[in-house]
Structure 1
């Protein structure tokens, strides 16, 4: 397998749009922002005034007689020290005031991304790559911190200082000082912008390959056992390295181009400073400028040289931060496939009837799954669905949870289309024991209590007893504090399934969905669990998706599905009397089990 790298570079985002997206998060702290900007401005005024005090001291020593020279500059020296202290302390005060803005904005954005991802449809999450997405979010939040701190406290202060210095030069000296300063600055900015834009393609490629490589690594590590089963360690390493190779080439180009940018910036700054010093030196020789003026110009140039040199770095990093934020903001802009209606109401009922009315559905337009499916589950009754793999059985539960919306027909609760209900209240009324139980990498207690996080410890243990897992948990050295590992891999399939049953019992929903709920259990445990499931389903509206027909003979109605359609329905005995598909499936399973 080869990865093509001849396609276009990752698309460029509108940086101004990214900045505008960020502004509302700053506006919440506008008071702090304004105060920080005031401290910033005062700090820069103090910083620019420092060379002026230094010039006064030097000029005094150049022109004053011996004894007077020891007394008069004291005020200028004290002012010099106070201005230096003010410049530094005001900068620290600015940082202290703005810290809440930066960290608060990062927190709000990270939380908003997290909440938005949970609002997206199941389709999005089935197609996502977790490793790459987590890396995008991590880089994006880190980019926000850099952008806020350095754009506001490096670029803007540098520009303020340049304007103040240019004003001093223009008011005190020949216009050529201002011309040289602004010409150097214009060339510097044009060079920095041009080269940085050219370099951004390397950074975007690095980001893209970093996310892809991370996705491959996370995917392989999550499926560690499968990799080992098939001895495909070398294959996974090659897949990982294919992306790393592209990342390496982009990283080398990024570093080489950085060296070229730094060298060009240094040449421009050195040329500008040299010309200014020549002008100042000539002025001293011609007696149009004092030695203090020479010191002043030199001090200004040193003051400008450091932030100007840093400005190039900051601008590059800000561009990199904007590139890092691209995919995170793209995630925030990902449209929701399933949304609450503007007037959605909350469902609140313990007596619930579920009905599917002429439902048609397809995950993909070219591959329809359900065709004109209609059935009803009266309140407190049990309906079981059986059929071959791919018949659309599990799709029914996904539609009931409203992970997807139907293309035709409607799914109703108490005669009301579930699209008119809030998703939160709908899902609060449904509990599910899925075929493939995935647990959080936490304790057994946490995973059971997840069904109702505010439940007491006694209620959690009672739910574990009902699911016949309490004795097993009690036998473990750490009891309910035992960690289950990534996706629950430290537990057997049956143990995970019983944890899932326990947390659904704890949730105590009026609607119960059992999707192959006992498929991972041994026969003895299955019988015990089936009896318990029958008891908890006796007063609930229950949908059972089953493979083993012996587990659903008690159902009030059994639906037989084939090719996305209901081809038979009735009680167990009625379906056997029909001598149709269900009867053949029953006979076949009886032969296998005998």
Structure 2
């Protein structure tokens, strides 16, 4: 290869284009591979690499060494001949070393290699090398070759040979990949890339952390709540990426949030957003003009034509425009309404959506997790702002800076700027990845410290009760020390990372400054341009540091946004039908027709409940715990929909009416009173927001809590505390009853409404409940006989079925399951009424009456056999009355029964 001074313009252009085209192809194809998840797919396929990565690295390293050898040859030739080497030739060699060096580093460090960016780069390189060789031979005018020319030709031939080998190997690999039958199972690796056997991995259902997107090796036993959320978010992100196939399709999944982010239909805000884009371009222009104006000032001071005072004033004006008092102020003023529109819309939409979801969702989700998910709207707006106001402007600034510096100071300056930027971003990305472990430890230590502090403060009463203040103090001190140590480790790592980045920038600036000084000394540039160069380098620092952490920040934003997207995609399981009409309440007749229901499809709670309840009737559901009594109340107000069967009010299926109109007619007093951390007045008034103070007072009087409230220092303005901790259980329950009274509903649901009150208070509440329930259809779940005795219908629920119905006296006379519940420990007795003693007396009287005409053992046995039909299947086959008869006859130890001459048992 002859080195001549008069190379053609086409050849010079090819030498400049060669590394630029290869780098642009590699960058574009790598981004495409990332967007289409090629690395993740290759990890899942776990196919053997063809060609071998190690062999490719060796060949590529040899390829790079030829450029280094040619640079050394050029330098030696320049020193000996005392002539500067051709600029475009040096740029070509240095640029190729930079570009193919990046490719080699990526091959060495990548866990999984996607080959088509590398293969394409080799093909492009071969074409350029051949074209350069042909044009160089055509333009050569030398008859005799110097030793330097021979060395250049030798290095070129070696480089060309290495490229031919890489290209040929690539073609062979493509052909073998298209014919997989050439490689039988014996050529496949026994172990997966992560070192686990495929069968074992499939059996356990586990995926290696090294092959999953953003996953880290973590012990489940040490996983904190924060780490679990992060891991689940990354897993969901990876799952949806695999389903969509690429990042473009993945991003399309967020289009359901677009109406909340972009002001659709709001022309005013859209014009503001367009003006923001114009401000962004104006800022880019100022970033060019300010360094240029600085150079003009320096040139005018050095004697060039122009007024330095005017130049200084122009610089001040440009700086003012670029500051927070100029274009940036206008941009912020224009963007604030658009920004708040997005955040407010997402906040309102997510809260409204969650509040409209059904009870099954709220019963299974943590409020903390829902709050975190709802905050994902901020992550979306942060991602949009990062792309719009940071990424795009900084890309423009960097491209303009490289082009402008190349024009002003020559291609060497542009090469230095590009090389510094690429090395800085590559090294910074590695350093950021290297600090992930220390950052994770820091976050874990911070979370642990917060948990110990919060647990100690929130559970102070327990700590004080068991005299463990010292223990908690030591735990907190240890957690603070651990957090401080982990934070120190993280800060040291971050400081080292920042210092290395600064060193790279300083080296690049020094190289640029040396080159600028050389050009100024040779008369090719002015001192003003040197000042301009320094300002440009100062402005390039921020974009480079931003790009170094861009991928991590965007990944975190997408993980947070993924939670919000998943939340917004959830549909309520209980929703109004299309065109549902309000409930037409007439009398309050309720019919339960073969109601089946289960919270989990694998287990049924209710198995064919049927019951007709006339208007104004009080129904009491009794039975053992877990029989499904409270579930019936939740179905009545349609917290859940029945699995099959129906619930009708005045002949209307509650699934066909508007849920809001249904719940307007229902008053619910739950087993555990639920209150807000607000005043008593606001908590009671919550059932009817428009109620006056006097109406609230009347409701509290009816619930027998008005005088108690007036005894508080702040009366009705007393704050009840979080979850009502400042009130007793009985006071909370009476507030719940007052709230139901204030609503004045047509159907009453009482779930253990008097469970937490004393007997004297219960008597008062029973009076108010009788007022509340008068003329209204009432459903009661209770374990106190005083509450149940007066019910018009008592339904005994066992194993999801109604096995007995009737009044109290009828069920006692029946002698079945209700009698067992009443005489056992299921019902709590009250001190004043001695209900259980009455039940036993009633049972004995009924038993004696039923046995008065039976004088023989056989007669009592016949009575027992007749009663068996009334006993539920799970009993031992004898009714309570029959058991007593049989016991007394068989044992013959009861003297009063033995001496009884009238034949009674």
- Distance, in Å, in 2 between the alignment partners of 1:357 and 1:147 is 53
- Confirm whether residue 126 of structure 1 aligns to residue 343 of structure 2: no
- Distance, in Å, in 1 between the alignment partners of 2:565 and 2:480 is 25
- Confirm whether residue 60 of structure 1 aligns to residue 300 of structure 2: yes
Residues 538-562 of structure 1, C-alpha deviations (whole Å, 9 max, x = no match):
2222111111122122222110111
Q: Who is 1:30 aligned against?
A: 270
Counting only pairs closer than 5 Å after superposition, residues 331-370 of structure 1 correspond to structure 2 as: 331-349=567-585, 351-370=587-606
Higher relative contact order (CA 8 A, sep 6+): 1
In structure 2, the CA distance between the partners of 1:35 and 1:580, relative to structure 1 (3 Å rule), is same
Counting only pairs closer than 5 Å after superposition, residues 119-518 of structure 1 correspond to structure 2 as: 119-131=356-368, 133-134=370-371, 137=374, 140=376, 143=379, 146-147=382-383, 149-196=385-432, 255=491, 258-312=494-548, 316-349=552-585, 351-518=587-754
- Distance, in Å, in 2 between the alignment partners of 1:213 and 1:352 is 56
Quote the offset at 1:256 in angstroms. Answer: 5.5
Q: Who is 2:290 aligned against?
A: 50
Quote the offset at 1:123 in angstroms. Answer: 3.6
Q: Who is 1:116 aligned against?
A: 353
- Distance, in Å, in 1 between the alignment partners of 2:606 and 2:472 is 37
Quote the offset at 1:516 in angstroms. Answer: 0.9
In structure 2, the CA distance between the partners of 1:392 and 1:97, relative to structure 1 (3 Å rule), is same
Matched residue of 1:51: which SS?
helix
- Distance, in Å, in 2 between the alignment partners of 1:113 and 1:249 is 39
- Distance, in Å, in 1 between the alignment partners of 2:473 and 2:647 is 47
Quote the offset at 1:484 in angstroms. Answer: 1.1
Quote the offset at 1:27 in angstroms. Answer: 0.8
In structure 2, the CA distance between the partners of 1:497 and 1:151, relative to structure 1 (3 Å rule), is same
Q: Who is 1:74 aligned against?
A: 309
- Confirm whether residue 101 of structure 1 aligns to residue 322 of structure 2: no
Quote the offset at 1:395 in angstroms. Answer: 0.9
- Runs of 5+ in structure 2 lacking a partner? 1-218, 242-246, 264-268, 839-905
Whether the aligned pair in 2 keeps the contact of 1:59 and 1:291 (CA below 8 Å) is yes
Whether the aligned pair in 1 keeps the contact of 2:380 and 2:557 (CA below 8 Å) is yes
In structure 2, the CA distance between the partners of 1:62 and 1:328, relative to structure 1 (3 Å rule), is same
Residues 201-235 of structure 1, C-alpha deviations (whole Å, 9 max, x = no match):
77678778877886787678666656766778899
- Distance, in Å, in 2 between the alignment partners of 1:177 and 1:328 is 47
Matched residue of 2:276: which SS?
helix
Q: Who is 1:87 aligned against?
A: 322
Matched residue of 1:351: which SS?
coil
In structure 2, the CA distance between the partners of 1:592 and 1:118, relative to structure 1 (3 Å rule), is same
Whether the aligned pair in 1 keeps the contact of 2:262 and 2:342 (CA below 8 Å) is no
Whether the aligned pair in 1 keeps the contact of 2:445 and 2:486 (CA below 8 Å) is no
- Distance, in Å, in 2 between the alignment partners of 1:431 and 1:168 is 75
Quote the offset at 1:564 in angstroms. Answer: 1.7
- Distance, in Å, in 2 between the alignment partners of 1:569 and 1:232 is 53
Whether the aligned pair in 2 keeps the contact of 1:203 and 1:320 (CA below 8 Å) is no
Q: Who is 2:802 aligned against?
A: 566
Moved more, 174-183 or 389-398: 174-183
In structure 2, the CA distance between the partners of 1:348 and 1:38, relative to structure 1 (3 Å rule), is farther
In structure 2, the CA distance between the partners of 1:207 and 1:112, relative to structure 1 (3 Å rule), is farther
Q: Who is 2:82 aligned against?
A: none
- Distance, in Å, in 2 between the alignment partners of 1:244 and 1:327 is 31
In structure 2, the CA distance between the partners of 1:288 and 1:322, relative to structure 1 (3 Å rule), is same
1:4 paired residue among 221, 225, 244: 221
Quote the offset at 1:125 in angstroms. Answer: 3.1
Moved more, 71-80 or 307-316: 307-316
Whether the aligned pair in 1 keeps the contact of 2:664 and 2:745 (CA below 8 Å) is yes
Whether the aligned pair in 2 keeps the contact of 1:47 and 1:83 (CA below 8 Å) is no
- Distance, in Å, in 1 between the alignment partners of 2:395 and 2:510 is 21
- Distance, in Å, in 2 between the alignment partners of 1:227 and 1:409 is 51
- Distance, in Å, in 1 between the alignment partners of 2:283 and 2:671 is 64
- Distance, in Å, in 2 between the alignment partners of 1:450 and 1:264 is 61
- Runs of 5+ in structure 1 lacking a partner? none
Q: Who is 2:126 aligned against?
A: none
- Distance, in Å, in 2 between the alignment partners of 1:239 and 1:402 is 47
In structure 2, the CA distance between the partners of 1:367 and 1:280, relative to structure 1 (3 Å rule), is same
Matched residue of 1:379: which SS?
coil
Quote the offset at 1:157 in angstroms. Answer: 2.6
Pairs aligned (count): 587
Whether the aligned pair in 2 keeps the contact of 1:353 and 1:378 (CA below 8 Å) is yes
- Confirm whether residue 555 of structure 1 aligns to residue 791 of structure 2: yes
In structure 2, the CA distance between the partners of 1:34 and 1:188, relative to structure 1 (3 Å rule), is farther
Whether the aligned pair in 2 keeps the contact of 1:435 and 1:516 (CA below 8 Å) is yes
- Distance, in Å, in 1 between the alignment partners of 2:320 and 2:257 is 33
Residues 506-560 of structure 1, C-alpha deviations (whole Å, 9 max, x = no match):
1122221011111122222212211221222122221111111221222221101
Q: Who is 2:280 aligned against?
A: 40
Moved more, 466-475 or 383-392: 466-475
Quote the offset at 1:480 in angstroms. Answer: 0.7
In structure 2, the CA distance between the partners of 1:234 and 1:327, relative to structure 1 (3 Å rule), is farther
In structure 2, the CA distance between the partners of 1:415 and 1:350, relative to structure 1 (3 Å rule), is closer
- Distance, in Å, in 1 between the alignment partners of 2:679 and 2:453 is 26
Whether the aligned pair in 2 keeps the contact of 1:358 and 1:374 (CA below 8 Å) is yes
Quote the offset at 1:313 in angstroms. Answer: 5.5
Moved more, 349-358 or 212-221: 212-221
- Distance, in Å, in 2 between the alignment partners of 1:359 and 1:249 is 61
In structure 2, the CA distance between the partners of 1:591 and 1:20, relative to structure 1 (3 Å rule), is closer
Q: Who is 2:883 aligned against?
A: none
Residues 549-591 of structure 1, C-alpha deviations (whole Å, 9 max, x = no match):
2212222211011122111001223222212122333345556
- TM-score normalised per structure 2: 0.58
In structure 2, the CA distance between the partners of 1:5 and 1:166, relative to structure 1 (3 Å rule), is same
Give the CA RMSD over aligned residues: 3.7
Quote the offset at 1:341 in angstroms. Answer: 3.1
- Confirm whether residue 533 of structure 1 aligns to residue 769 of structure 2: yes
Moved more, 439-448 or 128-137: 128-137
Quote the offset at 1:94 in angstroms. Answer: 1.0
- TM-score normalised per structure 1: 0.86
In structure 2, the CA distance between the partners of 1:205 and 1:38, relative to structure 1 (3 Å rule), is farther
